[in-house]
Amino acid sequence: MVQHCRQKTLANPVKCSGIGVHSGRNVNLTIKPAPVNHGIKFERVDLPDRPRINALFNMVVDTSLATVIGNQGAIVSTIEHLMASFSGLSIDNALVELDAYEMPIMDGSAFQFTRMLLEGGMVEQESPKSYFIVKKPIILEENEKSVKLYPSDIPKLTCTIEYNHPLIKTQTCSIELNADTFEKEICSARTFGFVQDIEMMKRYGLGRGGSLDNAVVIDTQTVLNDGGLRFPDEFVRHKLLDCIGDFSLLGMPILGHIVAFKSGHAFNHAFLKEFFARKDAWETLSSKDCQALNA
């Protein structure tokens, strides 16, 4: 069922500042309304000519630690949490201006981005929204990882993770993707890391902005953050959040059921390539046909 028939953008510009989790650099961010069919674009206002980069899968240049997009030498890193907020709130068109190469990590989740966008307000635009309608399953499997996409009348996402750690083990989370579910159940789930991995990253000059203020950090037995976890299964909820952000780089929402197993940024990106290679398995539908689809 198509929930939104028209494209949406922000009613008012919104701003925030923060630190990049890997760079440790301060960054100022402004998100502005954009016209119909603009999509989501990032603009590096700190560089000559203020280059813009489309938030699309074919602009992805790195997925090793985060999702990074780039064009003509300019990059924007760690976009997945903000992209999840756009997708979760069904915002189609926006211009994101920033004055550094890495997005601010905020509290390690998408909560502050989501709250900021809600405070800015949203408006429907005159043009119809378009969707990918899944007609046949698309499956990508490799080394125990998989992403599977099935036909569905509603947008759904199921994510499973497995870690050999007593606090995580196997966790699964499945949601119907809509603004209410995203805001209440997903957007506040924080990124997480292991003490030993964080120490190694810092030795290699990464994770310079990481702290207990912007990540769940665990050792062999305990969560080190004051207050513990926000959800008993916060780990898988955050991975589901990352999936929402990564899959939004298709450029249009999917009317289908995505089932991700032990996937991460790199494998999610590989699936997006597979998706576009399987043009027999989906079709695009303008929400001009909303009434017929929802009948």
Q: Which pLDDT tens digit goes with each residue over 8-26?
A: 999 999 999 999 998 999 9
The pLDDT score that the predictor gives to residue 210 is: 84
How far is residue 69's CA from residue 56's CA, in Å, rounded to a whole number?
8
Sign of CA dihedral 109, 111, 116, 122: positive
Catalytic residue among 238, 257, 265, 269: 265
* pLDDT at residue 288 in the model: 60
Would you state the pLDDT for residue 290?
Answer: 58
> Does 37 or 4 have the greater pLDDT score?
37
- Model pLDDT, residue 289: 63
Q: Identify whether the C-beta of residue 26 lies closer than 8 Å to the C-beta of residue 18.
A: yes
With 60 as the cut, is the pLDDT of residue 90 above it? yes
Over range 101-106, report the average pLDDT: 97
Confidence of residue 2 (pLDDT cuts 50, 70, 90): low
The string over 266-295, giving b where at least 16 C-beta atoms fall within 10 Å of a residue's C-beta and e elsewhere, is bbbbbbbeebeebeebbeebebeebeebee
Mean pLDDT for all residues in the chain: 94
Q: Biggest alpha carbon distance in the chain?
A: 58
130-294: same fold as 6-128?
Answer: no
From the CB of residue 168, how many other CB atoms can be counted at a distance below 10 Å?
17
- Residue 173: CB partners within 8 Å, gap ≥ 6? 158, 159, 233, 236, 237, 240
Task: Choose between 30 and 220: higher pLDDT.
Answer: 30
Q: Answer whether 98's CB lies under 8 Å from 105's CB.
A: no
Residues forming beta bridges with residue 29, ordered by sequence position: 16, 98
Give the pLDDT mean for 209-231: 93
* Residue 198 pLDDT: 73
CATH class of domain segment(s) 6-128: alpha beta
Radius of gyration (Cα) for the chain, nearest Å?
Answer: 18
Instruction: Give the chain's end-to-end CA distance (angstroms, integer).
Output: 9
- Active-site annotation holds for 257: no
**What would the pLDDT profile of 171-210 be if each residue is shown by its tens digit?**
999 999 999 999 999 999 999 989 887 777 777 676 678 8
- What's the pLDDT band for 3 if we cut at 50, 70, 90? low
Inter-residue contact 158 to 257 (CB < 8 Å): yes
pLDDT for 224-281, tens place per residue?
999 999 999 999 999 999 999 999 999 999 999 999 999 999 999 999 999 999 999 9
Range name among 42-51, 105-114, 161-170, 203-212 with the lowest pLDDT average: 203-212
| pLDDT for position 71 | 95
Q: Which fold has domain 130-294?
A: lpxc deacetylase, domain 1 (3.30.1700)
Domain range annotation of the chain: 6-128, 130-294
Q: Does the predicted TM-score (pTM) go above 0.75? A: yes
